């Protein structure tokens, strides 16, 4: 998709609700989507590397990615998933410090890449966009705090139930048989996202299937009983 072919001010057709690009005003969005150039990434390719200089910003246009952190022992934790309309490397608007995480495509992806200095200039020109970015970052920090509380008070089933609810809210498509999560997420991804072992994730998913809360297929999850998941995650 070439953003310049969209109507003036229009969000990319695949942009997801609640993302930075969708929240912008039409004039702020049109200005942003004229900057930088288009980059394409294959599944499994790094969009950004942990520790590299924070000298560029990406606006994700198509596909999905995961932000991960690798600790000193080599353990990988998933911080969040990203989709069309999300901004990556946005903290470089303050200072160009090394990246605190990796961003890896979980399917073929396309993004608009611009220099960090260009993004800072955009925010100076468009103060309403700067406030929108602050709102997005504030929500992200609140969500991180909420996850830390859940990790300390929930078991594996509860943590995974909470994350499945989150996936339904952003990536869910309601069907006759339930809510289909339209994100190519694996059990390994769920483990990295919930601080759970692969065996723990497999056992939790088996329990949920047996209770009739979910149905799983290859790289696909359908939530059948959202209310039960919500009660278990509470």
For tokens 């200005």, the residue is 31
Provide the CATH number for the domain around residue 68. 2.60.120.10
Report residue 42: phi and psi, to 5°. -85, 160
Backbone phi and psi for residue 30, each to the nearest 5 degrees, phi listed first: -60, -40
Same structural domain for residues 161 and 110? no
- 75 and 187 housed in the same domain: no
Both 94 and 202 in one domain: the answer is: no
- Give which of 18, 58, 17 is closest to 36, Cα–Cα: 58
Place of tokens 């992200």: 140
CATH of the domain at 225: 1.10.10.10
In the 3-class helix/strand/coil scheme, how is the chain assigned residue by residue? Answer: CCHHHCCCCCCCCCCCCCCHHHHCCHHHHHHHCCCCEEEEECCCCEEECCCCCCCEEEEEEECCEEEEEECCCCCEEEEEEECCCCEECHHHHCCCCCCCCEEEECCCEEEEEEEHHHHHHHHHHCHHHHHHHHHHHHHHHHHHHHHHHHHHHCCHHHHHHHHHHHHHHHHEEEECCEEEECCCCCHHHHHHHHCCCHHHHHHHHHHHHHCCCEEEECCEEEECCHHHHHHHHC
- Tens-of-pLDDT digits for all 234 residues of the chain? 333 345 545 666 678 888 999 999 999 999 999 999 999 999 999 999 998 888 899 999 999 999 999 888 888 889 999 999 999 998 766 666 788 899 999 999 999 999 999 999 999 999 999 999 999 988 888 877 777 766 666 799 999 999 999 999 888 899 999 999 988 888 889 999 988 889 999 999 999 999 999 999 877 899 999 999 999 987
Asked if 170 and 229 sit in the same domain, the reply is yes
Mean pLDDT of the chain: 88
Place of tokens 């925010």: 123
Residues 139, 182, single domain; the answer is no
Distances (CA, A) of 219 to 164, 190, 215: 14, 12, 11
| Number of domains forming the structure of the chain | 2
The pLDDT, as a whole number, for residue 94 is 61
Domain range for 229: 155-233
Q: Is the domain of 192 the same as that of 142? A: no
Residue with token string 């999850």: 221
Residues 75 and 134 grouped into a single domain: yes
- What pLDDT is stored for residue 98 in this prediction? 82
**Last residue of some domain: 131, 150, 169?**
150
Task: Say if residue 89 is in the same domain as residue 28.
Answer: yes
Tell me: do 47 and 110 sit in the same domain: yes
Same domain, 138 and 167: no
Q: What is the pTM of this model?
A: 0.82
Nearest Cα neighbor of 106 from 37, 175, 190, 212 is: 190
User: How high is the pLDDT of residue 65?
Assistant: 96
The answer to whether residues 36 and 133 belong to one domain is: yes
- Examine the domain organization and report whether 107 and 121 are in the same domain: yes
């Amino acid at each position: 998709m070439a953003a310049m072919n969209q109507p003036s001010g229009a969000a990319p057709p695949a942009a997801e609700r609640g993302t930075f690009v969708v929240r912008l005003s039409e004039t702020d969005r049109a200005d942003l989507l004229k900057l930088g150039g288009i980059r394409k990434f294959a599944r499994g390719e790094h969009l950004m590397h942990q520790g590299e200089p924070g000298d560029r910003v990406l606006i994700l246009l198509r596909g999905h990615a995961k932000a991960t952190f690798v600790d000193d022992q080599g353990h990988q934790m998933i911080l969040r998933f990203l989709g069309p309309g999300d901004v990556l490397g946005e903290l470089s608007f303050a200072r160009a410090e090394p990246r605190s995480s990796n961003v890896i495509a979980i399917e073929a992806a396309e993004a608009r890449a611009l220099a960090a200095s260009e993004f800072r200039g955009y925010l100076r020109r468009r103060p309403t966009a700067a406030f929108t970015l602050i709102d997005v970052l504030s929500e992200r920090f609140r969500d991180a705090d909420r996850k830390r509380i859940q990790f300390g008070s929930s078991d594996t089933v509860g943590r995974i139930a909470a994350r499945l609810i989150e996936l339904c809210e952003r990536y869910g498509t309601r069907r006759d048989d339930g809510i289909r999560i339209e994100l190519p997420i694996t059990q390994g991804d769920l483990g990295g996202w919930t601080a759970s072992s692969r065996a723990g994730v497999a056992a939790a998913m088996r329990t949920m299937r047996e209770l009739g809360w979910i149905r799983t297929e290859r790289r696909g999850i359908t939530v059948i009983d959202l209310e039960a998941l919500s009660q278990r995650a509470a």
